[in-house]
Amino acid sequence: MKNLITKKSTQLRSMLMSNELEFLMEAHNGISAKIAEEAGFKGIWGSGLSISASLGVRDNNEASWTQVLDVVEYMSDATRIPILLDGDTGYGNFNNMRRLVMKLEQRGVAGVCIEDKIFPKTNSFLRTDAQPLADVEEFCGKIKAGQDTKLDDDFNIIARVEALIAGWGLQEAVKRADAYRKAGANGILMHSKISKPDEILAFMKEWGERSKECPVVIVPTKYYSTPTNVFREADVSVCIWANHQMRMAVTAMQNVTKTIFEEQSLMNVEDKIVAVSELFRLQNDKELEAAEKRYLTVADAEAPRVILLAASRGAELKELTEDRPKVLIDINGKPLIEQSITNFYEHEIKDLSIVTGYKKEAFKFPNIKYIHNEKFESTNELASLYLAKKEIVDTTIISYGDILYRKYILTRLLEEKGDITIVVDASIENRIPDYNGDFVLCSRKHSTKFAEASAELQGIKFGAAKDSKEASGEWIGLVKTNKVGSVVLSSALEELSKTSDFSKLKLPDLMNNLLSKKVKINVMYIDGHWMDVDSYADVSRGQQF
């Protein structure tokens, strides 16, 4: 089914041979080519002036022909409509022309236009005395060489006559055009730089019936005020709008740059420019997204997984936990644990497991793996985690189910590179003396300086604030492992599971066990912005969180 689209060369040939007046729109890179196509144009003019301008060089063959080739390749890749490349003089003699035609065909370019001037050329609208014309015979040889080289019969070679530009007059223009027709040109581009169409109309009259076999292409940049119907009635075949995307782009770039420079702000420009999403659309990110779904199956395997520990009742909360575990009590109209679940979803993490225990039937969240700890009344956190051990692979986040924390904490944690990273709240100085928590000692205390060496965990101990004056902070109950960290953590867990007091052990015991094996545990410091829910007071604080 793939090749049902008409070849680009054939499309351009049909435009040249049609009885309608057709149009080519200038483009100078991939995105402008795409824009021309989306606007509805049936073909593109790969303008030498615009391509050189976009590269910041002059239209004097300062860009090498292979550099132009690279640009036109991007244009061709970005579009399905034909491109007629402005090939200047063919970048040398007949031999250079042969190579040019070969390379353009390989890149799916539909045709090339060469002008009868001397390499290196000067743009036609600059200095008349800088427009020496090529020898007619020599130029005919170039056309023939191009035609003999092409593999595709429909590839188009247009001969551009510069006699009017160089001031040699109509008769010279007609003489040259006819010689090029006889040499095999697929069309004549007749160029003029006066503000009226008179020279072109006079030529069309002289050219007469020859335009059926060898159609005429024009570039009305200078005689822009001529109604298009005048060209139509004169039997012009193709009209090129030669530089208008580039000129408009320059206007827009100058305006936006000046504003941003003067205002040192983006405030007044954002609404006047396309959204970044429009660039993504033009770049066809949609196609890549679909392809990723088809081909990039490994991506999912690497997506983080989450294990939420939620087996305990939270007996301190008495009647609030009569019919549900504490992770399901209502905070701000939502079950406590749902805030974590939503946070993970918002970070595109979809692989969630919850280890349940008390009142497991109260959990109703869809698309979650539930792992049940039957012995929840007589066991502790590590026993719950052990039941979920097959979920500890690659990037894994293990979290208490009863914590609330701000979104950015998870965003930052996901960016952490360590094998094992725990989140530690450094702002513990205002804890009341009887506050209990998992206080930690780290290799260095928190500071807000950038580029500081990362902090490492040295120990965790559950206790009261009054006994933890030396602590660097409090572990909030969130740990992330990567592929390596998951293996290390799992094997420590496995080892601990064989010890006699395993049923009493909690997550900090696992951390301390890892430390005893000299495993490095990174610390990601935060400054508050989290809480856990243990008491009635916590429940009401949670409503404000």
Catalytic residues, by residue number, are 59
Q: Of the listed pieces 64-72, 81-89, 214-222, 430-438, which binds Mg ion according to CB under 5 A?
A: 81-89
| Pick 62 or 148: Cβ nearer Mg ion | 62
Exposure b/e, 371-387, CB count within 10 A at least 16 = b = bebeebeebbbbbbbbb
Give the pair of three-digit tokens for residue 89. 């003089």
| Pick 59 or 419: Cβ nearer ligand SPV | 59
Does 29 participate in binding ligand SPV (rule CB under 6 A)? no
| Pick 63 or 442: Cβ nearer ligand SPV | 63
Q: Is 398 helix (H, G, I), strand (E, B) or coil?
A: strand
Does 48 participate in binding Mg ion (rule CB under 5 A)? yes
Q: Of the listed pieces 45-53, 94-102, 330-338, 521-529, which binds ligand SPV according to CB under 6 A?
A: 45-53
Q: Of the listed pieces 44-52, 75-83, 498-506, 531-539, which binds ligand SPV according to CB under 6 A?
A: 44-52
CA 257 to chain centre: 23
Angle between helices 170-183 and 136-149 (to 10 degrees): 30
Does 86 participate in binding ligand SPV (rule CB under 6 A)? yes
Choose from Mg ion, ligand SPV, none: what does 149 bind? Cβ within 5-8 Å by kind.
none
| Pick 49 or 336: Cβ nearer ligand SPV | 49
Task: With CB under 5 A as the rule, give the number of residues binding Mg ion.
Answer: 2
Contact 363, 356 (CB under 8 A): yes
Q: Of the listed pieces 43-51, 246-254, 359-367, 495-503, which binds Mg ion according to CB under 5 A?
A: 43-51
Contact 482, 419 (CB under 8 A): yes
Radius of gyration, CA atoms only, the chain: 37
| Pick 242 or 471: Cβ nearer ligand SPV | 242
Q: Of the listed pieces 42-50, 198-206, 266-274, 433-441, which binds Mg ion according to CB under 5 A?
A: 42-50
Within 10 angstroms of residue 238's Cβ, the number of other Cβ atoms is: 26
Please state the closest distance from residue 48 (CB atom) to Mg ion, in A.
Answer: 3
Interacting residues of 542 by C-beta distance below 8 A, sequence separation 6+: 331, 332, 336, 404, 531, 533
Rounded CA-CA distance 347/367 in Å is 16
Rounded CA-CA distance 241/285 in Å is 29
Please state the closest distance from residue 3 (CB atom) to ligand SPV, in A.
Answer: 32
Per-residue binding letters, 207-246, with ligand SPV (x by CB under 6 A): ------------x-x--------------------xx---
Does 391 participate in binding Mg ion (rule CB under 5 A)? no
Please state the closest distance from residue 47 (CB atom) to Mg ion, in A.
Answer: 6
Choose from ligand SPV, Mg ion, none: what does 219 bind? Cβ within 5-8 Å by kind.
ligand SPV
Does 489 participate in binding ligand SPV (rule CB under 6 A)? no
| Pick 36 or 308: Cβ nearer Mg ion | 36
Does 90 participate in binding Mg ion (rule CB under 5 A)? no
Rounded CA-CA distance 165/174 in Å is 13
CA 182 to chain centre: 50
| Pick 86 or 425: Cβ nearer Mg ion | 86
Does 542 participate in binding Mg ion (rule CB under 5 A)? no
Counting Cα atoms < 13 Å in the Cβ hemisphere of 17 gives 11
Contact 449, 374 (CB under 8 A): no
Choose from ligand SPV, Mg ion, none: what does 391 bind? Cβ within 5-8 Å by kind.
none
Categorise residue 372: left if φ over 0, alpha if ψ from -120 to 50, beta otherwise: beta
CA dihedral 397, 400, 404, 409 (to 10 degrees): -30
Choose from Mg ion, ligand SPV, none: what does 32 bind? Cβ within 5-8 Å by kind.
none
Please state the closest distance from residue 184 (CB atom) to ligand SPV, in A.
Answer: 22
| Pick 48 or 215: Cβ nearer Mg ion | 48
Contact 127, 203 (CB under 8 A): no
Among 22, 26, 86, 474, interactor with Mg ion by CB under 5 A: 86
Within 10 angstroms of residue 59's Cβ, the number of other Cβ atoms is: 22
Give the pair of three-digit tokens for residue 67. 């550099």
Task: With CB under 6 A as the rule, give the number of residues binding ligand SPV.
Answer: 11
Q: Is 89 helix (H, G, I), strand (E, B) or coil?
A: coil
Closest by CA position to 525, among listed 409, 412, 424, 403: 424
Among 16, 21, 33, 49, interactor with ligand SPV by CB under 6 A: 49
Q: Would you list the DSSP string of 92-141?
A: SSHHHHHHHHHHHHHTT--EEEEESB-SSP--TTS-GGG-PBPPHHHHHH
CA dihedral 1, 110, 46, 232 (to 10 degrees): -100
Closest by CA position to 226, among listed 252, 249, 194, 268: 194
| Pick 59 or 351: Cβ nearer ligand SPV | 59
Q: Of the listed pieces 74-82, 121-129, 171-179, 456-464, which binds ligand SPV according to CB under 6 A?
A: 121-129
Rounded CA-CA distance 415/352 in Å is 19
Choose from ligand SPV, Mg ion, none: what does 12 bind? Cβ within 5-8 Å by kind.
none
Among 9, 79, 124, 468, interactor with ligand SPV by CB under 6 A: 124
Q: Of the listed pieces 119-127, 231-239, 356-364, 433-441, which binds ligand SPV according to CB under 6 A?
A: 119-127
Rounded CA-CA distance 94/190 in Å is 21
Choose from ligand SPV, Mg ion, none: what does 242 bind? Cβ within 5-8 Å by kind.
ligand SPV
| Pick 146 or 508: Cβ nearer ligand SPV | 146
Task: Name the β-bridge partners of 473.
Answer: 440
Residue ranges in contact with Mg ion by CB under 5 A: 48, 86
Residue ranges in contact with ligand SPV by CB under 6 A: 47-49, 86, 123-125, 219, 221, 242-243
